[in-house]
Every structure is written in C-alpha cells, then in structure tokens.
Amino acid sequence: MPMWSPPPPPPSPLQLRRPPPPLPHRPRRLRSRLSPVAASQDPLTALSRLLWGRALPPSQLVLAVRHGWTSAWGLLMRQLAPSDPTTGAFTRTLSGFPAIVGTPSARLHLYVGLPCPWAHRALLVRALLGLEHRLPLSVAVPGDDGAWSFTPDSPDALYGKRKLREVYAARRGGFEGRASVPMLWDVERREVVCNESIEIAKFLCGLADADAAAGLDLWPPELRQDIDRWYAFIYPRVNNGVYRCGFAQSQEAYDAAAGELFGALDRLEDHLSGSRYLCGDRLTLADVCLFTTLIRFDLVYNSLFRCTRRKLVEYPSLHAYTRDIYQMPKVADTCDMAAIMDGYFGALFPLNPGGIQPLVPASCDREALLEPHGREALSSSAAAGNGRQLEATSSSN
C-alpha cells in the first residue's frame, strides 16, 4: 500500500496592498516649476511663473494688456478730467453754483476737503479773518470711489450724511452733477449758496467785521482791480495750469500747459523778487489763491502731475514767499500735508494705479517751511511798475 502523505497546508492569506496610482507624466521643466508655484501666495505671480518662468511675457500679451489698460485709462480720465476730444487738453467742469444769488441767511455751513486747493482757499480765508465762530465747518475726505465722503473721524457735523452728494441732494429740487468742495450751505433754507471757491472767498471777506479781521482786509476796494488782474493771470496758467499738465491726454496738450505754467512761474519769480506780495505790501485774495497751489507744488504736482521742469524750491523768491505766508498765524494749521498726499496719490487712481505714496520732499517738511524767509525788508516800490507790466503783457496774449 502506497505511502500517503497529507496535502500541504494552505498558504496563509497574503496582506495585499493596493498599489499607488501611477504618477502622471510631467515634463521635467514643468515639474521643476511646481515648487515655486505652490509656494507662491500671489495667484497672478504663480500663473505667470507657470506659463513663462522668469522671462518677459509674450509680446502679444504685452500689447493686448497695454491696449486694454490704455482704453480703460482713457475712459476713467474722460470721467475724472474731461478733455477736448480734438486736442486732449483738460477742460475744467464749470461749478454748478458759480455765484451767490440774493442774500443768504445768517446760518451758514462750510464744506471743505483738505487735499483740495480750491477748498483750501475758503478754509484759509476763514482762518485769516477769524470767522471760525461764525462759520461752522465739515471736512470731507476722498472715498474709495473718489467721491467726497464722511467718516467717524471726519463726520458731517450738520446732518450726519455719509456722502457729500447726499448733502447736495438735500436741497429743494434735488441735485445732479459733481458734488465738489468748497461748498457753502444755507442751513435755514436748505440750499447751496455757492460752490465756486473765489466767490466764496470774496463773500467771506464781506462777512468779516473789524474785530474778527484784526484789521486784515483781503479784498480792499482800492486793490480790487489789481487783484482781479493777478487772478486772471494766475488761474489759467498756475492754479488750473498744474491740472492741465496732470490731466493732459495728449503730448501736445501737456507741452502747451507745461510751457504756460513755467513761463508764469518765471514771471512771478521776477515780480516777487522786488515785491513782498502780489499787490505790494498787503496780503490779498490774489496771494491766497496763489499760495494754495504753491504749497502743493513740490509735494504732489512736481511728480504726480509731471510739473517737472523745476521744483518750487528752485525759485528762491517764490519759495520764500510761500514760507512767508505759511508762517502767518493760523495758516500752517490749514495745511495738512498727510491729507494732501493721501488725497492725490491715494485717490487719483488713473494717475497712480498702485496707490504708492512717495516720500515727502525735504522742502515740504514743517521745519523747512518755518525757516526764515527774509521778506520783511521788501518794499512795494516795484509793485506798481510790475503790475502795469503784467497788465500790458496779459492784454497782448
């Protein structure tokens, strides 16, 4: 009988594992980019590195983006700063309430914005003439959308509105248009009195009484013709001239505006080398209107508005003249350099899309503006001659 041997024991069950899925095939170059891409926190940077590494983007993409940005910039600029469609020259929108009609009530309220040179005129006249107790104030700030707005730190002291346009809209009949500063509001009648800066300044001169003004008259009858002549020279070439440079939408428009601006500054430098103020020894509204542009010149206009031929500090007489006015009582308190910087570099998106603010020039520091100006010794002996020369030259232009 054959020998029988039992069958071998069954094999113990194996502990099988599911094999991992195969790695997708990636080209070596793509795989090498994955680590910096994964580490990047900026999706746009990650995408650009993934597509073309550290090389420049393809020329077609550059041209497409450039065309798109230029078109968007033009659209924004047409709304922010309307221009002549044929020349590209900036054309300022007229004020909706350019003149004071009738006699306002005794209850008035002034709306201003600290970055704005036009509002600064009214704020400065109010301070120089001591009208703070007669004319309450609300300070608007540029909002994210560019509109004048109010915040908990800078509220609408009259109605508690969020936007200045809401105050305008509270007038009888409502309002459509640009809600600009300065704006003088009649509280009793719930009406806009005026939003043209030079007219508001003249009106405030009429409000000032002898005690409040302490003898200062910025709009004296005997000098009004001279003040008007200087204003007719300063406004288009300097006050509005810097905006014509900054908002020009063609090279030709910019060249024309810059030429007029610096030609006017050269003439003002010559005049003020022999006269303490524009109309002689007396500070007037003409000086107020010039000062609010000059105090912003090196701070914002030189760089942001491309007014680059010369800085204000390179004009010895104009710079000393600016320091002379800055050092008068109450004037420095109306010059908020931080608000001016933020209002221009932060709010004017088409001119500064990144919102980066440059360093404040040394010439605009408070210490520099308080340096002695040495203009006390100047007499008005040359003022009459220079004024006649201005009139003759202006009439020939």
Which residues are tagged catalytic? 116, 243
Are 150 and 179 in contact by the 8 Å Cβ rule? The answer is no
Are 149 and 142 in contact by the 8 Å Cβ rule? The answer is yes
3-state SS, residue 132: coil
Start-end of H helices in 81-153 = 117-128
Tell me which residue of 257, 229, 276, 243 sits closest to 377, measured CA to CA: 276
Please, what is the angle between helix 224-234 and helix 251-272, to 10°? 140
In angstroms, rounded to a whole number, what is the distance separating the alpha carbons of residues 220 and 234?
19
Tell me which residue of 170, 189, 157, 113 sits closest to 343, measured CA to CA: 113
83 DSSP β-pair partners: 90
Are 231 and 285 in contact by the 8 Å Cβ rule? The answer is yes
In angstroms, rounded to a whole number, what is the distance separating the alpha carbons of residues 114 and 336?
7
In angstroms, rounded to a whole number, what is the distance separating the alpha carbons of residues 343 and 346?
6
DSSP 91: -
How far does Cα 110 stand from its chain's mean position?
Answer: 20
